[in-house]
Structure 1
Amino acid sequence: MPWMYLLIAGLLEVVWAMGLKYSEGFTIFWPSVVTVTLLVFSFYLFSKAMKQIPIGTAYAVFTGIGTVGTAVVGMLYLGEVANTAKILFVLLLISGIVGLKLVSSDEEGGKEERSAS
């Protein structure tokens, strides 16, 4: 379940980051309210995930999901440049996130076993 919390927190980071753009520096009321609400909920889920996932891994994955998601949304929906190099580096970020998840599964399992004894 902590990985699900982390995934949802990262996806919410994408949405609240977009909200920052549309709130125009918190000068437009409803986009600001939605942005702050999603930001708080995102960090709440992130903090729940960190109860079982090491902080370095959790933070790297959280920000990685937010970075990749925001870059992809920018390229697909906001007309940002999508060149080969940018796509390559986004794929590199994704491979890092997946790699951290694969490596951390062993750490997390060991942590659960230790706390069970």
Structure 2
Amino acid sequence: MVSKWWLMLPATLCEIGWAMGAKYAQGPLEWLGTLVLVTLSLGLATWMARTLPTTTVYTVFVGLGAMGTVLVDIIFLGAPFNALTLVLIMTLLTGVVGLKLYSSDQKEASCTGSH
């Protein structure tokens, strides 16, 4: 079975896009775009969860989406930035990467029969 982790990038980008759309959409076309992004992000996450550990997919998906949304808000939309924000984003990223790596290790261990 082929891993679908590569879908995390477009899913995360759609997640960030709809979060921004939910905040800034004003007209019907912008809201339609936001709804399309919601559908795509959740559809991609669902597709990944069919062959990957659901809890890991969901946590990585939401964590990267939250981190990306904060970064877009700071870099492009002028949200205030401080050192604590950086520390918390790095903590979130560390947890997401750790969970993904741990999930991969667990899968390999179950395939080889070692615990």
Q: Same fold (TM over 0.5)?
A: yes
Aligned equivalents of 1:97, 1:7: Cα separation in 2: 14
Q: Does 2:40 correspond to 1:38? A: no
Q: Which blocks of at least 5 consecutive residues in structure 2 are unaligned?
A: none
Corresponding residue number in structure 2 for 1:16: 18
Superposition map of 1:1-117 within 5 A:
1-24=3-26, 28-109=27-108, 113=111
Aligned equivalents of 2:9, 2:107: Cα separation in 1: 16
Secondary structure class of the residue paired with 2:52:
coil
Aligned equivalents of 1:64, 1:110: Cα separation in 2: 25
Does the 8 Å CA contact 1:7/1:62 hold for their aligned counterparts? no
Does the 8 Å CA contact 1:53/1:108 hold for their aligned counterparts? no
Does the 8 Å CA contact 1:14/1:70 hold for their aligned counterparts? yes
Q: Which blocks of at least 5 consecutive residues in structure 1 are unaligned?
A: none
Q: Matched residues, percent identical?
A: 35
Q: Which amino acid aligns with 1:72?
A: L
Q: Deviations over 1:26-60 (max 9, x none)?
A: xx111101110111111111001101221211111
Q: Which amino acid aligns with 2:96?
A: I
TM-score, normalised by the number of residues in structure 2: 0.86
How many residue pairs match? The answer is: 110
4+ runs of 1 displaced by more than 6 Å? none
Shift of 1:107: 3.0
Shift of 1:110: 5.5
Aligned-residue CA RMSD in angstroms?
1.7
Aligned equivalents of 2:21, 2:57: Cα separation in 1: 23
